[in-house]
Chain A
Amino acid sequence: MAESKRGWVRLLQAGWLKPLIFLVFLTVAWDLVIRLFHIPPYQIPKPADVIETLWTDWPSLLAQSVPTTIATVQGFVLSALFGIPMAMLIVGSRTVESYVYPLLVFSQSIPKIAIAPLFVVWFGFGMLPKVLSAFLLGFFPVVVSAVQGFKSVEPDMLDLARAMEANRLQIFRMVRLPHAMPAIFSGLKVSITLAVVGAVVGEFVGSNNGLGFVLQRSIGNFELPTMFAALVMLSLIGVILFWIVDVIERLCIPWHASQRQDLIVAA
């Protein structure tokens, strides 16, 4: 009896259960609001209808998720591949920093949605414009946090390494890069969620597949349950990709404060 009670308590404390309970609560509230205020289904669909659509259209929704996910992941990988070396250049050279960094910040104030149609003009309706759009959104947070990470090494630590006669490459490899890893990962986490947005934006402006395309078509046809189902799929993609980055982070920086579970030894 006591055993099963403890089991329940543990289950209630599981990390995934609390957001799930809240999600159920929100869904119920959604349903109640529709019933109470008599909101017509062409404005907001009933949760039951969305769930039904998810159930019946699952194969096609899943199929449409594939190009969106691929575009997101490719854009994200490009963000990391270009963003981290870009941050290294900015940190490594005053000249690069003074020329490039302000422009990079400036470029971020340009709305990406305005540029996305241009990609379609340049590269057609294929994969490339989506990937570029995802890359454009995902790139900036990686650069900013990596620059922050590389720069935040204590001066005393650098003095210590220099006093050991370490050269620039050794200092980078042994001190700066590992030190920057937590910041880089927090940038990558922001980047992956923005890359999903970027891919959908790319699909909005010019594509004939993907969840962005499904979204736009269903709005045009007033198929609101389909549209909401596509939104659910998008959030699932976002959550799963975020979780994957989180797992990689745990594997890469088990030493970081955010990952510690061990007890502290005192003596």
Chain B
Amino acid sequence: MSRESVSNVTPLKREYRAASLEAARPVSIEIKGVSKTYKTQDGEVPSLRPIDFDIYDGEFVVVVGPSGCGKTTLLKMVAGLLPPSGGEIRVGNKVITKPHSDVGIVFQSAMLLPWRNVLRNVMMPVEVKGLPEAEYRERAMALLKMVGLQGFEKKYPWQLSGGMQQRASICRALVHDPKIVLMDEPFGALDAMTRERMNVELQRIQRETRKTVLLITHSIPEAVFLADRVLVMSERPGTIAAVYDIDLPKPRTLDVLSEPRFVEMTKIIRKHFNAQSDGA
């Protein structure tokens, strides 16, 4: 594992959070000794080794790691879709055992229902949860306006481009006003240009809504661009290899991509994967 000692870049081992921060900021997601083992026909397959990690209120945490390291498993456990094999996850002091109202999810594919127009897709969580329709309708319209989909409320998903579809699915994740937004490679299916634009957009949305975001990506520049903290995971069975505080000032523009500090960060993070693939 790399032990870079660049100023302000702190690859913390074991003790992942700075004590001073812990006291100051309320914790949104508490991950305590969480592990996951899948039972298959060939016996038990460990997916995640025990993980301890806290995510603060309003923090943007990005998880990077090789394929199959259990990133998605971790995200699904936070959503309550999968039970952990060991340890516990707490959101707002409640232990998560089943799906709960505190999260909204965005997947790689927009997953909009083709028989619903954009507005009705965004309103789906409201419908499912039986929340007051009229009140949330206004909220949905405001969200659509925020992501630049004003005037597209009545369009069907297939009438929109990939980027627009993904923006609609972000609105759907936000409509019931959850504290946390979980994103599993949300821009992985988009072309590079759209992806960069969406990154800027997502940063703005997060600043405006002050949500806690847990985002998974394969793209290291995307991770550094978006994150307050980047969580690097090791290969399967995954665990936390390192955590980096990204101290680049926010809001960040695309110009940051060429700044020396940015490039330096991406290099440090990339080293993890090179070292791993070299068999170190």
Contacts and interface: CB of A to CB of B under 8 A. Distances in A.
Interface of A: 154, 156-157, 159-166, 170, 174-175, 178, 181, 253, 255-257, 260, 262, 264-267
A255 B156 CA distance: 8
Interface in B126-170: 127-129, 152, 155-156, 158-161, 163-164
B105 interface: yes
A165 B164 contact: no
A253 B115 CA distance: 8
Contacts of B164: 267
Contacts of B160: 265, 267
B115 A164 contact: no
A3 B204 CA distance: 56
Given A165-B101, A253-B115, A267-B161, A160 B156 contact: no
A115 to B, nearest CB: 39
Interface residues of B, number: 30
B81 A159 contact: yes
Given A163-B105, A165-B100, A178-B113, A257 B158 contact: yes
B113 A174 contact: yes
Given A159-B81, A163-B105, 5 more contacts: A154-B109, A174-B128, A178-B113, A181-B115, A255-B158
Given A164-B125, A165-B99, A178-B113, A264 B107 contact: no
Contacts of B256: none
B128 A161 contact: yes
A195 B79 CA distance: 48
A162 B98 CA distance: 9
Nearest to B182: A163
Nearest to A263: B159
A265 B81 contact: no
B80 A163 contact: yes
A154 B160 CA distance: 20
Nearest to A157: B111
A164 B111 contact: no
Nearest to A154: B111
Nearest to B76: A159
B128 A165 contact: yes
A264 B109 contact: no
29 contacts: A154-B111, A156-B107, A156-B111, A157-B113, A159-B81, A160-B105, A160-B111, A161-B128, A162-B81, A162-B99, A163-B80, A163-B81, A163-B99, A163-B103, A164-B128, A164-B129, A165-B101, A170-B128, A174-B124, A174-B127, A181-B115, A253-B115, A255-B158, A257-B158, A262-B159, A265-B161, A266-B161, A267-B161, A267-B164
Contacts of A166: 128
A186 B215 CA distance: 40
A71 B105 CA distance: 50
B46 to A, nearest CB: 22
B76 to A, nearest CB: 7
A216 B52 CA distance: 80
Contacts of A162: 81, 99
Contacts of A157: 111, 113
B123 to A, nearest CB: 11
Interface string B164-183: 10000000000000000000
A253 B158 CA distance: 14
B87 interface: no
Contacts of A165: 99-101, 128-129
A154 B100 CA distance: 21
Nearest to A167: B128
Nearest to A255: B115
Contacts of A163: 79-81, 99, 103-105
A240 B76 CA distance: 50
B114 interface: yes
Interface in B230-273: none
